[in-house]
Structure 1
């Protein structure tokens, strides 16, 4: 018997003006022990299907047609109480954003043991032990210590592992994994995907894996369903759909995936439906005060950089415990280059970026910018560097219009005012492909890819020399990722920008970076030119990282463009 059967499902969101159909007549089924991939761009309806199965559709969304059955029993028409009893016990969900799905007021122990005790008949001691075992299983180090910490004390990747542990608490029959590896590096991603495969194989758990990562789909799933604007356009065994796609949209989507084996000058974009968004960074360059670049000279010289964080507090100084996030790291960033940093979650990548940006104070070592210590440069230094954060939504003020958000850095540094500032904002919005009309809207009115364009426009407002990109495309599907990365390539080429590019996506790093530094446990493991690193890594850890990259083995390498 089919474990989960979705037939002719339609989901609509009525509004005052019109009814938006998010899912239109979709069919999907999951057999016991099967991992079924669900792919498509943002807005395709993937997460809506997951929410419909869980009974978690946001109002006024509702199922307008079709059925959802679990082991032959219809669950789409259950009342709230019955659905609540089913949810978590027989069907669990791994949500995309771990920070919003964990309660910030409770420790990880409290959240795990409450879920375990609710769904399983166990004692408090058994629930505690089971919670620690789950943290060990999802790869969290020192679980006995970390279980008593709060979600904000974990990195993004660590929080995602806690969410996965929560989903496994009740030993469910079906797991809906909504972008479960978005915030994870390749080593932890491989760990989590192996865990999902193990659950499917050994316990016959059915899994719907919602993701924009086509490599993960190729490596992990048994079957795949491709969605476009709420409709299923193609479905079948993964090897057939990924290796010989029939639909034009599937072909275009796969072509946009960065390849780990071929370096391309530009990223192919999804062209189906004529939805490419134009941008014109070269026009911006005409009014840009471009810095002179000498690629033989360093812009940054970083020596012995160290950062420690308090792990366990105490009134007695000798009893305090610290975690060394960055341990005496030294490297140079040359003028005009894109310098990449890769490594596991918690390896110190983002901590280094925040120390360079002045958001964290270092506990040792020095950071020199253009030959001068950064702590002596003051506000002028901050004007010359800008940062594009991983999550564009949380880094944009929801109470400010987009034009105010973009103008804020230039206004703060006193660079422009009045009509000149307005003209700068309008030009930036035009050049990143949004149009100046977008300035009158608020951040919540835009998609994830559009919000990241707003972040880029804000970062350019002060005409910086150095741009820090901290996982700028990790939450974006492949088509929007291609657009954003092409913009960043154009920025570097036309505006003589120097960039620090942090990512866990190794194929993207190969396409974007001139040199790459590999980090582990706060220490520098290897530093090489990008092509040399990918062709012949010197250190065992780097070799392991590269071997864990999800690969589209069934596909031919994309041609250089």
Structure 2
């Protein structure tokens, strides 16, 4: 008998003029000890199904049709108080962002003990004992000490372990995990997925994993449900759905997954979707890159040369130098980037990747070493005019496009701002023409210039960030995790766009990511970082086929298995 049965579920969100159907006639089930993966793009209805099951639909959302059963008992029509008792006790929830689901003002111990005592008839001492056992069970070292700490004192992976402990503290029969590994590095993701698999096997818990990551689906699930615009388009065993998908949307979705085993020229596009952001017309923006606007001094040898780069941050200040404490973020790092190539930096969070990007762009000043850009030593620049002249040649695309865009400015003004600041156009009409051409070229269209950032999806906002970065006609582009928060199909579009732009505009790129499959597809050479040190620098294919450093081999071994996807990928590619 199934632990969870969802029958003919339809969820609606009434509006002023119409009713939005977020989930339409969905049927699925989960058995004890098994993991069901619910996969699809943003807006597919995945999280809405999970919220409907646990009774957390936001107003005015409602279940208009269908039934939800837990161990044969219907739960969707239960009164509010009974639903509240059900949450935590019978159904546990693991949220995407652990920091927002933990109370920053309470220790981990007090949060666990409170939840345990709410659902189980245990004394305070027994609840504390169980809390320590749970922290130990999810793999946090020194559980007796760490449980006394606050959430901000844990890393992202450790916080996710705490959230898993909270979800399991009342011994639920069903656990719903909503994007549990989206923001985690490959090594931390592997640990969390292994933990989830072992908990299901050992405790006979049924689990529903909601994700857009096909690697997670391939790694841990027994069955998979594929959703598209609120509908369940394919459902079955994981080996069948991923190995021989029947629905064209599933086929397109799988084909867009970056290949870790072989390099391809372009990422296949999810052509089943009517993409509103495709270019309306072909624009040759290379004309804006000619003449004085991009009359940079030619370089013989590498464009970027980094030698013995050091960066440390003061963690405890004092008037007495001997009492100061420092964190060494970057340690004696050296590498070159040739003009026209894409150099990748890969490693865990805290390895120093983004710190190096900020050092190159001048956002941080190094404590040691040198950065040579062309013939200019960047660390010695002090004159504002010289600094701005160098910064115009290099631009950065950030991980979160929404936080890097001014929410109060129209898109056309956001893109025009660097053009006006660096005086790269002779008139306002020329500025408008450049902005319009950039918007067309990145696939948004001229009309997008009149809108504000909040009116766009995540993928469209990243296109705006790319257009803004290109506005100064740079020769060097730094991409810091530019697609880590995007769905696989949107990721494919953005990565293809970056490849095209590099070829058309002769760009040199530093590409930073913890996604090894993306790194393989985008980069010519790759540097592997760990704890601020550069472990290995190698050509792309050589690094994946014959890694030299033990840590590189460890990272490659931890990549989610894509064997189930290989046949569908090959056929589609």
Q: Same fold (TM over 0.5)?
A: yes
Which one of the candidate residues 376, 394, 399 is aligned to 2:403?
Answer: 394
Cα distance change on mapping 1:316 and 1:161 into 2, 3 Å: farther
Q: Please, which moves more after superposition, 176-185 or 199-208? A: 176-185
Q: Secondary structure at the match of 1:51?
A: helix
Q: Secondary structure at the match of 1:88?
A: helix
Q: Secondary structure at the match of 1:558?
A: helix
Cα distance in structure 1, aligned partners of 2:16 and 2:231: 24
Cα distance change on mapping 1:55 and 1:496 into 2, 3 Å: same
Unmatched segments (≥5 aa) in structure 1: none
Partner of 1:558 in structure 2? 570
User: Deviation at 1:513?
Assistant: 0.3
Deviations 1:434-457 (A, max 9, x none): 112122222222222112112212
Q: How does 1:25-44 map to 2 (within 5 A)?
A: 25-44=25-44
User: Deviation at 1:402?
Assistant: 2.3
Partner of 1:484 in structure 2? 494
Partner of 2:528 in structure 1? 518
Structure 2 residue 415 is matched with structure 1 residue 406: yes
Cα distance in structure 2, aligned partners of 1:232 and 1:544: 37
User: What value does the CA root-mean-square deviation take over the aligned residues?
Assistant: 3.0
Partner of 1:436 in structure 2? 446
Cα distance in structure 1, aligned partners of 2:63 and 2:355: 44
Q: Please, which moves more after superposition, 295-304 or 307-316? A: 307-316
Cα distance change on mapping 1:274 and 1:124 into 2, 3 Å: same
Q: Please, which moves more after superposition, 334-343 or 440-449? A: 440-449
User: Does the 8 A contact of 2:288 with 2:434 survive in 1?
Assistant: no
Q: How does 1:454-493 map to 2 (within 5 A)?
A: 454-493=464-503
Which one of the candidate residues 524, 532, 543 is aligned to 2:542?
Answer: 532
Partner of 2:432 in structure 1? 422
User: Does the 8 A contact of 1:186 with 1:548 survive in 2?
Assistant: yes
Cα distance change on mapping 1:21 and 1:134 into 2, 3 Å: same
Q: Secondary structure at the match of 2:284?
A: helix
Partner of 1:300 in structure 2? 304
Unmatched segments (≥5 aa) in structure 2: none
Cα distance change on mapping 1:133 and 1:527 into 2, 3 Å: farther
Q: Please, which moves more after superposition, 408-417 or 148-157? A: 148-157
Cα distance change on mapping 1:389 and 1:34 into 2, 3 Å: same
Q: Secondary structure at the match of 1:285?
A: helix
User: Does the 8 A contact of 2:255 with 2:572 survive in 1?
Assistant: no
User: Does the 8 A contact of 2:7 with 2:27 survive in 1?
Assistant: yes
Which one of the candidate residues 325, 329, 332 is aligned to 2:329?
Answer: 325
Cα distance change on mapping 1:219 and 1:331 into 2, 3 Å: same
Q: Please, which moves more after superposition, 182-191 or 116-125? A: 116-125
Q: Secondary structure at the match of 1:87?
A: helix
Q: Secondary structure at the match of 2:88?
A: coil
Cα distance change on mapping 1:425 and 1:34 into 2, 3 Å: same
Partner of 1:288 in structure 2? 289
Deviations 1:150-206 (A, max 9, x none): 666766556545544543444433222222111122211111100000111001111
User: Does the 8 A contact of 2:227 with 2:233 survive in 1?
Assistant: yes
Whose radius of gyration is greater, 1 or 2? 2
Cα distance in structure 1, aligned partners of 2:27 and 2:158: 34
Q: How does 1:538-549 map to 2 (within 5 A)?
A: 538-549=548-559
Cα distance in structure 2, aligned partners of 1:382 and 1:149: 42
Cα distance in structure 2, aligned partners of 1:316 and 1:336: 47
* Total equivalences in the alignment: 561
Cα distance change on mapping 1:35 and 1:261 into 2, 3 Å: same
